[in-house]
Each structure stands twice: as structure tokens, then as C-alpha cells.
Chains A and B, each alone.
Chain A
């Protein structure tokens, strides 16, 4: 297929580039034009490079620790040396800390949110571009702390920093907590920016209930980021004060309470789980509508379930402490509220399924990821029901069952949604198409590899394999070997994704303005968009009324018919 040069034929209006004209990527040149940029799209790209770097680091650590466990499972191994145990403990700690604080939390909001949110609003930028850039720098400074910890080589507390172990550990706990503290600022600034942007910069004609569902999800996420992260900040400050000054707040020997740390920590970190999953759900809503090419089913139920999850998510932190000795009444209340979170999550899954009903389902790569998401999230959610039940949690707490559960939710679901979203908006971000066959092979490897790696861990955990064990009893050996093999498949799939993305930048076909036929406003401007996002105000209609876009073979993309859009919009009002 020949590269389309005719600007009129890239399909639409609102962001036309002149032939050889500029877009946000080549709008200005030089490293400083990036480091000092206030353009949300460029900040999003800088986040992308940094966050994917963190992902590479954390993911490599995962492979290292799975390999260590594989080797422990080999017959006739010598007893584990203290040094090897220390190494394992440090690897799993950094794996968790780097991936949670530097990948899962920022990935969707900071990369895709930054790039897509103002475009979806038809806005020129987020409300506070300077804060946006500051948030990136906070991320980099926080990352530098973790890099210091990595090079310094020692952090062995687990990403949860439980006291009193973390106050007595001789490793670089203080540096890591300060790093997480600064990363928290980055997260707060992003959330604050998104809230103000969604409130103030919606275009004429876009009421709250004409917002794309991705924005509802980002809005709910931002509420959590803004309200929960400060509690983590104070917790980490208290931990640092405890270590540096010896204040004794978490030290039982001095009248402190180590379990209080857990309450503080999970008051942030449980809502943080929803920081990870809510934007992922938002992406899935977009993908479902676009690739079924029809109105999303139950728009308001999906929107409100995001808000419900965000709010309920603040009230369930105690379910991480069912075995800590807190009162039975406390446990009962937290268990009950935990179950109530299952309901909005189920509502979302059912609505996505209903959207597929009578749709025109394309199995383009982003949709494959959406389908994988539903499978993985359903498993993750249902195993969450086990853990919400008090008597079952007593047995499963701190075993591989929990490890498998949160990897299904936080990695399986969130990661597939993130990759699906990246594929979906890749043509918009870079103006290039990726290789579809390579993308499908990679999808298959990731889907199979992930399930091989983690499903077996449910069984190992149910059988009693405790988590965070450098070594294990012989009866658990085969679970670990099986899981490790799966993780290699998963790793290969992920590398293939990375290869495909990088390759497309150099050799990818030029992308049309709207390759998928979506009707959210980012498709109403050119790919990639100009510096100012839109050269004329985009036409705001129902975000899921996609039928005004007609497929055009010559560009392998969709072309907008404004007259029809107006007509459809009027019909839907009557």
C-alpha cells in the first residue's frame, strides 16, 4: 500500500497538516525543547520513555527472581547461603517497589492520560502545563532515588515497608521511602491537573454525560490520587523520622504500634490498587465501543461504577490485616465493604459483554487485549472474592494465592489494558502503524505466558506456599518450575511488543487520521496532532456515535461526514 500524502485524504478535519507541515513532535527541535516543554503530548512521551524504562528494570528483576526460584527447584541443590537469600529478598523488594511506584501507578494516567485527555476534551492542553512538567521531574527525581537504591544494591523490606522490620533493616530504606515520597508528588500533581482540566476545559456541548468513559475513569483515578497519596506521604515521612530520629511511633518497644503503620500504608495502598485498575477499565470501555463499532451499553452505569469503586476503595484497607489481630468487628466491617466493591466491578464486565452483543466485532490487536483483559480481570476479581471472605483469607493471606490474585488484577488486567491502549493510540501519538501480525503473535505469547505463570500460583498458594520465600520445601518445586517457564514466555511476548513499537517508528506505514473509526475527539485531529492539538474546533457529539465515520479503502481509515453527524446527533435527542 502506498503512503498517502494527500492531506485531504487522511480522513477528516480539525487538525490538517500541510504536506511536510509540522506536528507536535517536529514542531520545535533540540533537547531543551523537550526538557522544558509545556506540551502535554510531549510530557506524555517523556513519561512514556521513563515509565517503560522502569518497566524494563522491574520486569527484568521479575525474570531474575523467577530464575532463582527455578534453580532452587533443581534436585540436589546446596543449602541456600545467606548471601543468596539476601539477594533474593532484595530482588523481590525492588521488583515490587519499582513496578508499583514507577510503573503501574503512573503508566496509564501519566502516559496515555497525559497524551489523550486534553485531546478527548478538544482542549489545547491540561489546565496547569507547568505543574504537568513538574510532575515529570518529580517522577525522575523519585526514580533517581530508586536508582540509587539499586546501585547501592540493598533494599530488603518488601515494597510494603512493614515496620518494625523496615525500621530495623540496615538497608537503604530511608532513600527508598523518600523516593516513593517524591513519586507520590508526581502522582498528586497529575491527579490535580486532571481534575481541574476535566472540570474547566470541557468544550461547549460536552456535558459530564457526554464525556468519553476513559475520562470518567481518569477522573475517578485522580480523586484517589489526590486524596490517598498524601496519606502515603505522611506515612513515609513518619517512617523516615522513625529511622533517622528514632521517634518510636511504630516501635512497640517504645510504646509505638507497628500495626498502625499497616493501617496508614494500606489506607493509601489499597486505593492505589484502584489507581492502577480504574484507568485500565477506562481504556477497555473505549476499546469495546470502537472495536464493536457501536454505542457502549450502559454508559451511565459504567461511569458511576468508576466513581463507586473509587469511593468504596477508600473503605476497604483493613482487609489487608485480617490476620494482624485487629478486632473481629473491624474484620467483619472491612470484609463486608470489600464484597461491595465486587458489585460495580461486575457491572462493568457485564456492560462490556452487552456492548459486544449485536456489535461488529473487529479482532484488531487492541481488541484482543480488551478480550484478554476481561478474562484476566474476571479471574482476578473472582479470586478476590475468596480473599474477601474472612475464613478463606486467613488461610490464603501471605501465600502465593494472594500473589497470583494481585498479579492477575494489577499486572494481567492493568498491563493488557495498557498495552491495548498503547496500540490503540499509537497511530495517533506517532502517526505510524505497527505490524499487525507481529502484534498478534506477541499478544498470544503474553496471554498464554501470563496464565501459565500465575494460574499455577493460585494452586501453590492454596496448598500453603507462603510468599516472599527465597527457598521452599520440595513439594512446591514443580509449581515454581512451571511458573518460571511461563514467565519466560511472557517475557518474550513483552519484548516482541517493544520490538514492534520501535520498529513501527522507523518502518511503520503512515497512519490515517482515524484508523479505527472511533468518535472521541482525539480522532478529530490529524495523526500525529499539531502542536495546538486542533486547527479548528472539533465537532462535539455523542462520543460513541461512530456511524458518521465512513470507511475509506484508499487510506485504510475512516473519514468524517459532519452533516451526517449532526443528523445522527439530532436523532438521538428525539
Chain B
């Protein structure tokens, strides 16, 4: 029965089951659901029956009924007690399974910040969407750079808080290729409801290819396009507009070359180094009129990506009239890779 449930499509109550843990969860869910229906029908049925059968015939009624019975009290205490104990053990076993990743699970580091996700893989590749191979146990190490978030994928029946200052762990094993929503489930401020990304479950071959491209994807695109991808994938778009619209953060339009004024009264011309500083240490210079809410991207973003952002900013600033880089400068940190040129499988 559980095997059938695990393959189930979306039901009235539950989304499709797409992880190895979903079967056990759904089995217990359905058990409790039907148990609840039984009790609700029983109680409501008796309620209606008594209301009809014993309705008041006359205001002078002086009915007499039983007032106590220890045997009955104990009798009806027992079934709920047994039921909840069964449910407790069942739920606990399911939880222990969720709690302990199998040995040799593929590990991904999940870093949450207001209001985006960053996933880092074994080779240092990182991305704003989570890619995982199908039918492989994935172990997640979660940490936050600011407030508490929560990693939640309904189809996998998995959730874990992402707490700053500690590493929480969870795991899952996806059973079907596809794209699933990944929500932030712990309230984290203004854009909490926008902190949604995708889990892409793909075949092992596709995943390997993804990682390969992810390790050097910026080489296959023009810097401006790299900047655009970063803007979209890294959650910049949630706070910064490109067209001058006001948001949580300043718009990126006409920043480059502008004189920026900070809350402490100081000013600085927005050049390349300024852009870099404000991505890596956003708290150091907080723009006048804005709150210090931007998370740092220290350690999560590679230099070519920053370069891409800088070129993107140049391209949309009237205060910059220089040239925009045609291609990425050599990246000394990037190890030489032989077989480049397969830019055809860009992940979009």
C-alpha cells in the first residue's frame, strides 16, 4: 500500500509524493486522516442524534440520567490512548528516518539569506537553484547569514529551519525527474513570500553536465549577460530594479559613476571597487534612505560574476560612457580546463 502511495499523484490533501520519505509520511497522514474522520463522524453523529432524540419537550422537563461511571470513563479513555501511542511511534520512526542521512549521501551546502537561497556543491560550484540527481540520497547542510529561514519542499515532505550561527542538517532522495518548488517556511521579513526557488531533479548524467557547466558557466557568456544571469538567479531582482523603480534597495539604473551618499554622511563615486565592496560587505556603506538589510555574498559569489554585475551596471548607466567589456578577463583563480567549448548546454 505504501508503495502505491509513494507513486501517487496529487490528491485532495497532499501534493504528489516525490521522495523516498513521502510514502511513510503519506501513510501516516492517511491513517490519522481516516481516524479523524471516524471520530468526527462518531461525535457529530451522536451530537445530532441526541439533539433530536432528547430535544426539550416542555420547559417543565426534569430529566434524570446517569451522572458518573468510572468504568465508562476508563473505557473511553483507552481507545484514544492506544491510538495516539500508535501514532506517536509511527511518527517518531518516520522522523528518525528523516533525521539521519544514509552514509555516502551527496552533500550540498545550503546558505539562506534575506531573501534568496545559495547552494554550493562539492567542487565549489554554486547556484541559486538546487540541482540534484534523481534516486540519490542528498544530504543538506543548512546555515543562514542573517535571520532564521526554513528549507521546505512539499513534494519531498522535507522541512528544516535554517538558523544563523549553527548548521542544521536534513536529507532527501528524490524519486522522479522534474522541477519542484522550494519555499522559505519561516517568516523572515519583507520578501518572505518571494523567497521561493526551484529544486531541479535530473538524471545523473544531466546533473554531472550541469556541475561541469556550473563550474565555469561565465566563460560561455558575455560579461553583461553574466551580470543579467546573476541578477536573476541570485535574488538581486527582489530588491533592485533595472529600470529606475524604487524597491527595498536602490535601483541599479544610473548607479555606475554616480556619487553615492551614505547614512553616515560620507560619499563615494560608484566605481568598480565600490560595486565590489557593496556586494561583499554591504553593511559597511549603507546608502542614505535605505536600511542595512542586504546580505553579504562573501564566499558565495565568484569574481567573474561580480565583474558581470559591474558590466551590467555600466550598460544601464548614463553616467558611464566608456566601453563595456566584450568578454570576460582571464580569471587567475579558475583552474585551466581543457574541454571547454560546449556552451550549448547553458542551464536556463
Which residues in A have some Cβ–Cβ distance to B below 8 Å? 80-82, 85-86, 89, 156, 158, 162, 164-165, 168-170, 252-253, 256-259, 292-301, 322-325, 328, 331-332, 335-336, 339-340, 342-343, 346-347, 349-351, 353-363, 371, 374-375, 378-379, 382-383, 385-386, 388-395, 397-399, 458-459, 462-464, 466-473, 517, 546-547, 550-551
Contacts and interface: CB of A to CB of B under 8 A. Distances in A.
B47 A462 contact: no
Contacts of A551: 59-60
7 smallest A-B Cβ distances: which pairs? A252-B165, A464-B154, A391-B94, A389-B91, A358-B65, A390-B95, A360-B61
Given A362-B56, A391-B24, A466 B98 contact: no
Nearest to A386: B32
Contacts of B51: 356, 361, 363, 371
10 contacts: A85-B190, A162-B147, A340-B84, A342-B84, A354-B66, A356-B54, A359-B50, A394-B25, A463-B13, A463-B14
Interface of B: 10, 12-15, 21, 24-25, 28-29, 32-33, 35-36, 39-40, 43-44, 46-47, 50-51, 54-57, 59-69, 72-73, 76-77, 80-81, 84-85, 87-88, 90-99, 146-148, 150, 152, 154-155, 157-161, 163-166, 168-169, 181, 183-194, 196, 239, 247-248, 291
Given A378-B39, A378-B40, A391-B24, A299 B67 contact: yes
B185 A399 contact: yes
A353 B50 contact: yes
Contact of A390 (B29, B73, B94, B157): B94
A389 B32 contact: yes
Given A335-B88, A356-B50, A463-B13, 9 more contacts: A85-B191, A85-B193, A165-B188, A357-B66, A358-B64, A391-B98, A394-B98, A462-B15, A468-B193
A361 B56 contact: yes
Given A297-B65, A353-B43, A398-B159, A168 B77 contact: no
A389 B161 CA distance: 18
B281 to A, nearest CB: 15
Contacts of B33: 386
Given A356-B50, A362-B56, A473 B165 contact: no
A398 B158 CA distance: 12
Nearest to A367: B51
A325 B73 contact: no
A298 B159 contact: no
B68 A356 contact: no
Contacts of A292: 54, 63
Contacts of B98: 391, 394
A156 B163 CA distance: 19
B55 A170 contact: no
A360 B187 contact: no
A391 B67 contact: no
A467 B92 CA distance: 24
B12 to A, nearest CB: 7
Nearest to A261: B148
B102 to A, nearest CB: 16
A464 B247 contact: no
B108 to A, nearest CB: 17
A459 B183 CA distance: 17
Contacts, number: 291
Contact of B84 (A252, A328, A332, A385): A385
Query: Which of A253, A331, A462 counts the most B-chain CB atoms under 10 A from its CB?
Result: A462
A209 to B, nearest CB: 12
A466 B148 contact: no
B163 A324 contact: yes
B139 to A, nearest CB: 14
Contact of A89 (B60, B190, B194, B239): B190
Contacts of A165: 147-148, 187-189
A492 B31 CA distance: 37
Contacts of A294: 63-65
Contacts of A253: 164-165
A82 B159 contact: no
A336 B32 CA distance: 16
Contacts of B247: 81-82
Nearest to A332: B92
A81 B196 CA distance: 16
B192 A89 contact: yes
Contacts of A347: 73, 76-77
Contact of B181 (A158, A353, A464): A464
B14 A359 contact: no
Given A170-B291, A388-B84, A398-B150, A324 B161 contact: yes
Query: Which of A357, A374, A383, A388 counts the most B-chain CB atoms under 10 A from its CB?
Result: A357
Contact of B159 (A170, A357, A397, A467): A397
Contact of A359 (B25, B54, B161, B239): B54
B55 A361 contact: yes
B62 A293 contact: yes
B147 A550 contact: no
B36 A459 contact: no
Nearest to A324: B161
B90 to A, nearest CB: 7
Nearest to A379: B40
B193 A469 contact: yes
A463 B93 CA distance: 23
B63 A358 contact: yes
Contacts of A256: 165
Nearest to B188: A165
Contacts of A336: 88
